[in-house]
Amino acid sequence: MDEELYTDEHLSLEDRSLLPSEGFFVPEEHREQRRRDEFEESVAGHSTVMLADGDADGLAAVVLGERVFDDFGWTTASPNYLGDAFERLAEFIEDGATVYVVDLCPDADVPLADFETVVERAEAVRWYDHHEWDEEVRETVEALGVDVVVGESDEVCSADVALEQFEKDGHDFPDALYELIEVTRDHDLWIRDDPRSDDLADLSVYLSSEEYVEAVRDGVELDDEYADFLAEKREEKDRLIGLAVERAEFVEVGGVTVAHTYGRCSQNEVAEELREQGADAAVVVKPEGGTSLRGSEGFERCHEVARLLDGGGHPRAAGCKPDVFDSVLDYARHWTTDGEEARDAVLDAFAELLKE
């Protein structure tokens, strides 16, 4: 396929808002081989390995891990593809390694056969998180001999949990890293009292995982080189947010005002704007097929809606990918109808939940 058809540099901002990022259009076998190669390079041969979410929270835990362990390898995984990550982890970790899984909440139907292999090969496996876990899943994971520590989702981020556990093991950290965790929590829990937390959250999106860890390795105070970079990216981000808000529609479902929209955008900021316009819950359907759910004081059951669609998350922040994609034609319809079928699946899940 001609790259000019889908790469950002050749598309208008409005067209970019309707389509997935260019990585989506790379053939899956190429992406899979690249992921396998990167995974092997990151974890093979290390006595301690961490698998973390690639957001600011998960990567802050990686920074802590680098401080704690001399022989440390790490890589990231998406919550939507946790089973794939376990398969690669089972293949590439060293026998007798210690494995940490951080800021990743397993869905009720995530395959655990490869994770069982990880547990068998590892000396110990520890899972630190702060999301709302399905109790049966937690019991299953703990029955394998895994040390699972889940913090209160509205009080701590996963890096907080990792920090506390590392401290219990006798490790100390410089003040700059305590500050990093505090600022990370400020954004991850959507407190936003510290303006620097937006800097971290944005950088974790715009930079690769490796670049982000390098940027915050010594704490939250960033080098001047990132200021211009963030300013340029934020201008584009704000315009994408505006386009998504303009597309939003409001509906009443079971007494709850749900605002739904579509587009490539920062879902948290879009949801905040929709809440200000009167939404109890916001649904942001994304071009690649996933959907973000954001709640409010008037609706704290986002994770329950997501679970009806094999997703999960927090009471006020969750995600899922409706099972409506069987062929490339389904994606074509998705892009040209502002995610109509996926949106309807999510609204149906709201209706099913709220009819109770």
pTM: 0.72
The CATH code of the domain at 44-222 is: 3.90.1640.30
pLDDT of residue 1: 64
Phi, psi (rounded to 5 degrees) for 114: -70, -35
Domain ranges, ordered by start, for the chain: 44-222, 244-354
What is the Cα–Cα distance from 175 to 254, expressed in whole angstroms? 48
At residue 56, what is the residue type? A
Which residues sit opposite 294 in a β-bridge? 282, 317
Which DSSP category does 9 fall into? G
Question: Tokens 């959507």 belong to which residue?
Answer: 190
pLDDT of residue 29: 80
What is the pLDDT tens value at each position of the chain, 356 positions in all?
667 777 887 889 999 999 998 878 877 788 778 888 998 999 999 999 999 999 999 999 999 999 999 999 999 998 888 999 999 999 999 999 999 999 999 988 888 999 999 999 999 999 999 999 999 999 999 999 999 999 999 999 999 999 999 999 999 999 999 999 999 999 999 898 999 999 999 999 899 999 999 999 999 988 888 888 998 888 999 999 999 999 999 999 999 999 999 999 989 999 999 999 999 999 999 999 999 999 999 999 999 999 999 998 889 999 999 999 999 999 999 999 999 999 999 999 999 999 86
**Alpha-carbon 31 to chain mean position:** 19
CATH architecture of 244-354: Roll (3.10)
